[in-house]
Structure 1
Amino acid sequence: MNPGRFGHFVAIDWSGAAGERHKGIAVAMAARGDAAPAMVRPSHRWSREEVLRFLDEELPDDALVGMDLGISLPFADRGAFFPGLAESPATARDLWASIDAICADDPHLGVTSFVDHPAFSAYFRRHGGREGARFGGGQGRFRTTEAAQRRMGCKPYSNFNLVGAAQVGKSSLSGMRLLHRLRGAASVWPVDPLPARGPVLCEIYTTIAAMAAGRTASRSKMRSAGELDDALARLGSEPSGLAGPLDDHTCDAIVTAAWLRRAAPNPRLWSPRELTPEIARTEGWTFGAV
């Protein structure tokens, strides 16, 4: 498969917060060339279901979509997502299906029913000092790709940790519901092999894009048009055309769309040395982590 076949590059800053619509969701799209990425539905406050419909119905056939969430849970460290649990799913797709089935009555792609489920809650650290007996202590369990992120200077959080402003567990779990419902509308790399045609969705970590644009991991967030345009210039993109203060979600989405356009043709990023077929089926990977 030729990764240079992509002609549109979409970056989605995602949110697992409670409720229907979220200022933390931002969607940007870039086309081949050097024009700045544009926000999709600027000033719109997205719901997670609207993002699902956008991915299902509006993606160009040559789109590469990066979503800022974890597409799976740790598996390789213990040989299971939920070690010791008879009903532990065997693959990432099985995990997505389990979460969506258990949360079928949770509105807005929420995941409360899953993290409070008597069989699964023991593996999570939840609010109110509720650390499950099988959480594992410390920072929690990590995927192989998150170890690669750390080597790059990033500071990932365990997807089993649901506490703290920087936690990504809830957004990742809600994203897994979306991935299950997408079904055949887009391939999900590397859980699915890269197809010769059709949209492809991958996991991104916006800090990796910001670092490629000259930022440090500790200063990855941008909140002004000046900072945004400096980052775009380093990625070979024209200025955004925006002015003044901006929210970090907008900046994350625009910079990451520009970075995806630049990074996608690099075959090395599609074949990280630690990405085995077993890890692809179970834990997945973060595009750009090497």
Structure 2
Amino acid sequence: MTPTRFGHFIAIDWSGAAGERHKGIALALATRGTAAPQIVRPGHRWSREEVLCYLRDELPDDTLVGMDLGISLPFVDRDSFFPGWSQSPATARELWALIDTICANEPHLGVSALVDHPDLSGYFRRHGGREGEHFGGGQGRFRATEVAQRRLGCKPYSNFNLVGAAQVGKSSLSGMRLLHRLGNRASVWPVDGLPAKGPVICEIYTTIAAMAAGRTASRSKMRSAAEVDEALVALGSTPSGLSGSLDDHTCDALVTAAWLRNAAHDPRLWHPRELSDEIARTEGWTFGAL
């Protein structure tokens, strides 16, 4: 098996915001070759359930999907997701199942029931100055892949942190509900390894794609077609054909889909030197972080 088996590349800018439909969700699709990625359902305001249905029902078998979220929580630093809690799960897939079970009655793949859970709220930093006794202080706990992200110049947040404009905690937790509900429809790298066939989902960090396109981490956000086209050309793609201002979610999705098309064929990115079997099955990894 070789990663060159992929022929469709989807980048998803995700959102954990409250409610049903979100301007922060954008999907872009690239195919083999150099044609510019295309926004999936342009002008549509996606719900998280619609993204779930799209991934479940509409993916060709040769699709690689990158989702801009954390696919798990820190584990290896304390040998547990929730140290001191007797029911703490042992693997990422068990974590996803736990989250979805606790939040089963919450609509729109929401996760408030988890972060307010009497046994688990103490592991999170929540709004209103509520820092749980197990949060860890400072910036909180980080996964091994987030340490690797920092070496690249990125500034990741702990997935236990739910406060601040740049936090990704709630979006990651809602994404874990989606991954659980997908079941066996798609494999998740590296949790499930890299199978020889079928769609594969991986975690992405759009800043890594922007940096590959020549931008700095501090200038990774783009908000115009001109900026997107400059990045696309740097990634070997034709221009988008769009014009004027664009929201940063659309820009992130387009550029990251073009990057994913290139990166999927780089064997080094599938074998980060620090990615052990334990990390793969518990914390996962960010594709592109070395």
Amino acid at match of 2:286: T
Partner Cα distance (1:136, 1:285) in 2 = 21
Amino acid at match of 2:106: D
Asked if residue 10 in structure 1 is aligned to residue 25 in structure 2, the reply is no
Aligned to 2:152: 152
Partner Cα distance (2:151, 2:193) in 1 = 26
Aligned to 1:128: 128
Computed over aligned residues only, the root mean square deviation of the Cα atoms, in angstroms, reads: 0.4
The C-alpha deviation readout for 1:128-155, integer Å capped at 9, x for no partner, is 1110011011000000000000000000
Asked if residue 174 in structure 1 is aligned to residue 174 in structure 2, the reply is yes
SS across alignment from 2:261: helix
Partner Cα distance (1:107, 1:129) in 2 = 26
Superposed displacement of residue 233, structure 1: 0.4
Asked if residue 54 in structure 1 is aligned to residue 54 in structure 2, the reply is yes
- Structure 1 residue ranges, 4+ long, deviating more than 2 angstroms after superposition: none
SS across alignment from 2:245: coil
The C-alpha deviation readout for 1:221-259, integer Å capped at 9, x for no partner, is 000010000000000000000000000000000000000
Amino acid at match of 1:2: T
SS across alignment from 2:184: helix
Please, which runs of 5 or more residues in structure 2 have no aligned partner?
Answer: none
Aligned to 1:21: 21
Partner Cα distance (1:271, 1:61) in 2 = 22
Superposed displacement of residue 193, structure 1: 1.4
Superposed displacement of residue 164, structure 1: 0.4
Asked if residue 33 in structure 1 is aligned to residue 33 in structure 2, the reply is yes
Q: How does 1:1-290 map to 2 (within 5 A)?
A: 1-290=1-290
Amino acid at match of 2:21: R
Partner Cα distance (2:193, 2:210) in 1 = 27
SS across alignment from 1:184: coil
Partner Cα distance (1:110, 1:49) in 2 = 10
Partner Cα distance (2:137, 2:242) in 1 = 44
Superposed displacement of residue 16, structure 1: 0.1
Superposed displacement of residue 37, structure 1: 0.2
Partner Cα distance (1:170, 1:197) in 2 = 31
Partner Cα distance (1:270, 1:193) in 2 = 10
Amino acid at match of 2:227: E
Task: Tell me the TM-score normalized by structure 1.
Answer: 1.00
SS across alignment from 2:29: strand
Partner Cα distance (2:241, 2:198) in 1 = 30
Partner Cα distance (2:231, 2:69) in 1 = 22
Please, which runs of 5 or more residues in structure 1 have no aligned partner?
Answer: none
Amino acid at match of 2:133: A
The C-alpha deviation readout for 1:148-198, integer Å capped at 9, x for no partner, is 000000000000000000000000000000000000110000000111111
Amino acid at match of 2:272: P
The C-alpha deviation readout for 1:19-62, integer Å capped at 9, x for no partner, is 00000000000000000000000000000000000000001110
Task: Tell me the TM-score normalized by structure 2.
Answer: 1.00
Partner Cα distance (1:164, 1:132) in 2 = 16
Paired residues in the alignment total 290
